[in-house]
Amino acid sequence: MRLIIKLIILSQIIFLLLSNSVIAQNNYKIKTIVIDAGHGGKDPGALGFKSKEKDLALAIALKVGKYIKEKYPNIKVIYTRTTDVFIELHKRSQIANDNNADLFISIHINASHVKSVRGTATYVMGLNKVQDNLDVAKRENAVILIEDDYKKQYEGYDPNSPESDIIMSLYQNAFLHQSISLAGKVQKQFTQRANRHGRGVRQAGLVVLWNCSMPGILVESGFISNREEEKFMMSDYGQSLIASAIYRAFSEYKDEVEGNNNKTVTETKTYVTPKNESIVFKVQIGYSVRKIEPTTKNFKGLKNVKREHDGTKYRYTVGKTSDYQKILELQSTIRKIVPDAYVIAFKNDKKISVKQAVNELNKK
């Protein structure tokens, strides 16, 4: 690493640390937020079966901004793009810096060559510790190779060099704590309220977050390579649910950094509630006229067995979720102990066929 680069990094860090502590001292209010829809124009991002990352990311980003504006009219929402145009990565963070933004949220869609991989993950700047995160960083950073003059713009950054990664990870350290806090809230909303499979808060060397002088996150909203998730993200309902989760996380974060601990968090408006909450799946492990205590001992060591009477017999089940994929996973685990266990479905506590339940979930 050249000395000049070291000095630049050092001065950047000191600047970031200083600006960060100012925020903590004053009566801090979030005034400006930048919402960045990933990719665009000649850069389609990841490709799904029927859709492109750039289009899904834009649709979700616009909704996030709309929800924030509706609830907080005093907050300035700035988009890096509102149409299908190409924006270089360094310009995205520059927009945030030029506008003294308090927060930078970049919205993306993930992809994998393994079609079954699914779920949401939220990234903050940091060192790629696992291969998975390195892959995401490489894919999200690769766009700079089609930008003009990229070597000049990114100070010789090479998406494939480990040293470049280390340099980048230093930049965001000053805001890491806040970034992780927001990322954690996004993931919590995704899993607990929006019913998405969570892959957690992760760190990667992401160029788009590199030069942000404010807390920043990159949300991977789901896998475009997974047919089910692609379908969900292509639907207005799915986009609204994802955007709603990000909006609520922002709202919680805002209360946290502004010190509004008077429980306003709980009243944050839910724009879209999962409308299929009424559909649940369980794994049935027994059905009998005999009333058996649902203890671990009576059920081959299985924990949390539930017993219910349906008017004729007692039904013994484990698990309860509206995620069909999850219940199938549970079913295969349970079958190692109870080979004839199978998935059953309910709508508003009334038993319906699994096929009907799946159909209803897929309607939108």
Q: CB atoms < 10 A from the CB of 111, how many?
A: 21
Is 159 a binding residue for Zn ion by CB under 5 A? The answer is no
Site for Zn ion in 21-40 (CB under 5 A): 38
What is residue 304's three-state secondary structure? coil
Nearer to Zn ion by Cβ, of 92 and 108: the residue is 108
Q: Looking at residue 33, what DSSP letter applies? A: E
CB 33 within 8 A of CB 76: yes
Site string for Zn ion, 117-156 (x = CB under 5 A): -----------------------x----------------
Whose Cβ is closer to Zn ion: residue 218's or residue 343's? 218
Report which residue's Cβ sits closest to Zn ion.
108
Query: Smallest distance from the beta carbon of 156 to Zn ion, in angstroms?
Result: 23
**C-beta of 87: minimal distance to Zn ion in Å?**
13
Q: Measured from the CB atom, is 9 or 47 closer to Zn ion?
A: 47
Give Cα 209 distance to the centre of its chain.
16
DSSP helix/strand/coil, 94: helix
Instruction: Decide whether 45 or 294 has the Cβ nearer to Zn ion.
Output: 45
Number of residues that bind Zn ion (CB under 5 A): 4
Rounded to an integer, what distance in angstroms lies between the CA atom of residue 352 and that of residue 202?
39
Q: Report the nearest approach of Zn ion to the CB of residue 248 (Å).
A: 23
Q: Binding residue for Zn ion (CB under 5 A) from 108, 185, 197, 315?
A: 108
Please name the residues in contact with 104: beta carbons below 8 A apart, sequence gap of 6 or more: 33, 34, 36, 93, 96, 209, 212, 214, 215, 216, 217
**What is the nearest approach in angstroms of Zn ion to the Cβ of residue 221?**
10
**Shortest distance, position 295 Cβ to Zn ion, whole Å:** 49
Comparison of 33 and 58: residue with beta carbon closer to Zn ion:
58
- CB 101 → Zn ion: shortest distance, Å? 20
Segment near Zn ion (CB under 5 A), from 87-95, 101-109, 162-170, 269-277?
A: 101-109
Place of tokens 């319906």: 352
Query: 71 near 251, Cβ under 8 Å?
Result: yes
Length of the chain: 364
The CB-side HSE value for 266 (13 A sphere, CA atoms) comes to: 3
Burial of 151 per CB tally in 10 Å (0-12, 13-18, 19+): exposed
Q: Interface with Zn ion includes 45 (CB under 5 A)?
A: yes
Chain residues that interact with Zn ion, rule: CB under 5 A: 38, 45, 108, 140
